[in-house]
Amino acid sequence: MKDKIFQKPIEKKFEFDQAVASVFDDMLSRSVPFYNEVSHLIIAYIVANQKENATLIDLGSSTAKFLLELHHKLNAKMHLKGIDNSQAMVDQALQKCKAYGADITLELADMLTYNYHNFDFIVANYTLQFIRPIQRIELIKKLHNGLNEEGIFIFSEKVVFEDKKLDKQLIDIYYDYKKLQGYSEYEIAQKREALENVLVPFTIAENIEMCKKAGFKKVDTLFQWANFVTFVAKK
């Protein structure tokens, strides 16, 4: 279903309710530059490091689009799990997994309070930015502790830049990108207002430093387009 959420005046801050869940796959592919390509890149990286009985959890798994695509590409038997704090998203995901006959565990849960234990991979695509900065740092520590030795944490984030002129230019470039995807200036303005103080991005350096302080030995970037970056952190 096509994303038309912000064609009408907003009445509340952005939240992942039923209305958003019903158009979320379209919203991602049109709102996040190279979303599908980044997803395929992450999947290829996981497949290159796959092993029998490895465990993976996707934080903010939404409609399970990523997990279903990964499930299709794996050769080894891996245990895939997704958690999301939106019942609407979990319901959509369960229906899709059932339709595809995919053995994926989905759970309604809060990533901040979830008990992470014995995971080989943790994935968080554009989810940490919705966590308050103080809570975000504590969450990364929990994720590090919940990974097995040599475990891998992959996450994608919208970022900001200390150079304010550059930051503004890249935001303008991003808005031009959204217009090319069919969003009107009104829709873009509406969503920007809805996300204000809900989505709080870090700089690239802050994301890397956060992971290193949590104990990750090495943090690299896998992909960047303007103010959208994918990181890989290794325990």
Looking at residue 199, its pLDDT comes to 80
Sign of the alpha-carbon dihedral angle for 52, 55, 60, 63: positive
Cβ neighbours, 10 Å, residue 53: 9
213 vs 29: which has the higher pLDDT: 213
Looking at residue 25, its pLDDT comes to 64
Looking at residue 31, its pLDDT comes to 82
Sorted by where each begins, the domain ranges of the chain are 5-234
Looking at residue 66, its pLDDT comes to 96
pTM of the model: 0.86
β-pairing, 119-125 with 105-108? unpaired
Per-residue pLDDT tens for 5-20?
333 444 444 344 454 4
Looking at residue 14, its pLDDT comes to 36
Average pLDDT for 143-160: 97
Which secondary structure element, helix H or strand E, spans residue 40, and what is its range?
helix 35-48
Average pLDDT for 25-34: 77
Looking at residue 76, its pLDDT comes to 96
Looking at residue 140, its pLDDT comes to 98
Looking at residue 127, its pLDDT comes to 92
From first CA to last CA, the distance across the chain in angstroms is: 39
Average pLDDT for 40-49: 98
Average pLDDT for 43-55: 98
Asked whether the predicted pLDDT for residue 53 surpasses 60, the reply is yes
Report the SS3 class of residue 65: helix
Per-residue pLDDT tens for 54-113?
999 999 999 999 999 999 999 999 999 999 998 988 998 999 999 999 999 999 999 999
Tell which residue, 174, 235, 233, has the closest CA to residue 201.
174
Architecture of domain 5-234: 3-Layer(aba) Sandwich (3.40)
Looking at residue 214, its pLDDT comes to 97
Asked whether the predicted pLDDT for residue 39 surpasses 90, the reply is yes
